[in-house]
Chain A
Amino acid sequence: MMPLENVPAWAAVPAAILVLAGASLALIGSVGLLRLRSFYERVHAPTLGTSMGMACVLLASMIVFSALQVRPVLHELLIAVFMLVTTPVTLMLLARASLYRDRAEGNDEVPQVAASQKEAEVVEERAESGMR
């Protein structure tokens, strides 16, 4: 069984281009993850693959399956929406955690907390401990 033979030319050519573009973007993002120097630079690189790379591959998948089943196939949109919503959330969480760890260790590379902000945090912590 060779389902690829049933894909018409009008679907095969854009799908091939989109798949290649998506995979190349994911590769560039991963190489950036490997090559960049500090964590705060590195955390930006993989988003290339999670946004545009994912969109290209999902679009190719939609085109091929729509051509194979002779009806529009849209369930790939589920993955697209989910990834677009969750990736910024996780990377923001991770960057906040990393900033917190760097500050706790007194690293010079990250900006320290300003005095006024520190006071606000102390007040906040007191309020939190009061609530407990």
Chain B
Amino acid sequence: MTTTLLAGALLLAQMLLGIAMGCAVFRMLRGPRAQDRVVGLDTLYVNGMLMLLIFGIRTGSTLYFEAALVIALLGFVGTAALAKFLMRGEVIE
């Protein structure tokens, strides 16, 4: 009983996160200006990380946790570099 409850909750959460990733992708593709696209990409990274964590809960393996950690790191570096680029026009001065 509780197993099906947890499995159903995980499935529903993955669907919700899928819709959330769709919203972020839409904003990234359409965003009127460059900074909107960067915010969309950042949101996409975070939602993808949450999705991987839920995959990890479902399969019971810790491999997904490491992938989520790498995505969090790369999301931070990517967004910071893009913000720097928008500010200065170059990443490394």
- Residues of chain A touching chain B, judged by Cβ–Cβ distance below 8 Å, are 2-9, 12-13, 15-17, 19-20, 22-24, 26-27, 29-31, 33-34, 39, 42-43, 46, 49-50, 53-54, 57-58, 60-61, 64-65, 68, 75-76, 78-79, 82-83, 86, 89-91, 93-94, 96-98, 100-101
Contact = CB atoms under 8 A, between A and B. Distances in A.
Contacts of A9: 1-2
Contact of B50 (A7, A39, A57, A78): A57
Interface of B: 1-3, 5-10, 12-14, 16-17, 19-21, 23-24, 26-27, 33-36, 38-40, 42-43, 46-47, 49-50, 53-54, 56-60, 62, 65, 68-69, 72-73, 76, 79-80, 82-84, 86-87
B46 A54 contact: yes
Contacts of B58: 4
A54 B43 contact: no
13 contacts: A4-B60, A19-B54, A23-B13, A26-B46, A27-B23, A29-B20, A43-B35, A49-B43, A75-B65, A79-B53, A89-B80, A97-B87, A98-B86
Contacts of A20: 9, 12-13, 16
Contact of A4 (B7, B65, B80): B7
Contacts of A78: 69
A50 B63 CA distance: 21
Given A7-B2, A24-B16, A100-B87, A30 B21 contact: yes
Q: Which of A82, A89, A94 has the most CB of B within 10 A?
A: A94
Given A90-B80, A97-B35, A98-B86, A7 B43 contact: no
A30 B24 contact: yes
A83 B82 CA distance: 18
Contact of B6 (A12, A26, A50): A12
